[in-house]
Amino acid sequence: APLLREQKAGTSLLLSGTIYSARDAAHKRIQNLLNEGKSLPITLKDKVIYYMGPTPTKPGKAVGSCGPTSSYRMDVFLEMTLQNGVAATIGKGTRDSNVTKLAEQYQAPYLLAIGGAGAYLAQCVTSSKIVAFEDLGAEAVRELTIKDFPVIVGIDKNGKSAFF
């Protein structure tokens, strides 16, 4: 995560390591647990969260097609996840102007995955397992091991954006 934080907006990267998927329903559940003072099923500190929409996994594969989902839907939850230590987020599309301020405040970049390339991105996932909220099906939190997963720094830790 420290090296990731140093990358500038517009930089292309190939990520390898462990990331976690979470979308709307998982973020809502995390928020509810925190509001109730309950512990989370995974730690968010220094984690990278991928706003991913997976398809069913085919036999012999680690994951089905796993393209990014529109990140703006998670904007309302971003400060909560960053306050709990999330190092970076991955998704697609532009985000609310407040996101650039949060990226700078928490030194947490926003990374862009290639929309429409879910089948290709799935080839960069070497393992996938559900680690929280299994009842949410496609929106369950997954731990993904990735190798050479292509992203572009959309908003860097200084709040600079590749969008404008």
The catalytic residues are: 27
CB-based contacts of 91, cutoff 8 Å, min separation 6: 50, 51, 68, 69, 70, 71, 74, 110, 111, 112, 113
Strands (E) located in the chain:
12-21, 48-50, 52-54, 66-68, 88-91, 110-112, 125-132, 141-155
Pair type for strands 12-21 and 48-50: parallel
Going by the DSSP 8-state scheme, the letter that residue 70 receives in this structure is B
Residue 126: what are its φ and ψ, rounded to 5°? -95, -20
